[in-house]
Amino acid sequence: MSEIRATTISDETGSGPIALTKQHAAKAWCYFNTSSSTSITGSFNVSSLTDLGTGYTKITITNAMASANDFSMQCTSNNFQAHNASIPTATEFWFYSSNATGSASDGTRNYFTLHGDLA
């Protein structure tokens, strides 16, 4: 068995870390709370969350995706269901969560992950 240990894998010029532009690693993810206030618990490539009302949160990502058509998202919540509630752009989308009866509901544990190509 081989083992590779490194702190940084450099790009072809040796001037910086390798970019994950054409890889299948998550390009953005977030764990957030909308129950009492809208707050990020942990995230990567997320610049802000905006509370749009019960069950609705606008997610803005830091580094844009290649286009609104070049990524997929997975949304989950401790509520009954969660999904994208808007036509996404390359830099934002709306997260929606609802309870078991289908009514909009804020959750304490909301998650999303984006996969696709960065701009």
For residues 75 and 95, the answer to whether their CB atoms sit within 8 Å is yes
| pLDDT reading at 13 higher than 70 | yes
Top-confidence residue, 74 or 11 = 74
Q: With left for phi above 0 and alpha for psi between -120 and 50, is residue 47 left, alpha or beta?
A: alpha
What is the pLDDT, as a whole number, of residue 23?
62
Q: What is the pLDDT of residues 95-109, one digit of tens each?
A: 999 988 989 999 999
What percent of the chain clears pLDDT 70, i.e. is strictly above it? Answer: 95
Average pLDDT value for residue range 42-53: 96
CB 51 within 8 A of CB 34: yes
- Where along the chain do its domains lie? 28-116
Tell me: the pLDDT tens digits for 57-76?
999 999 999 998 888 889 99
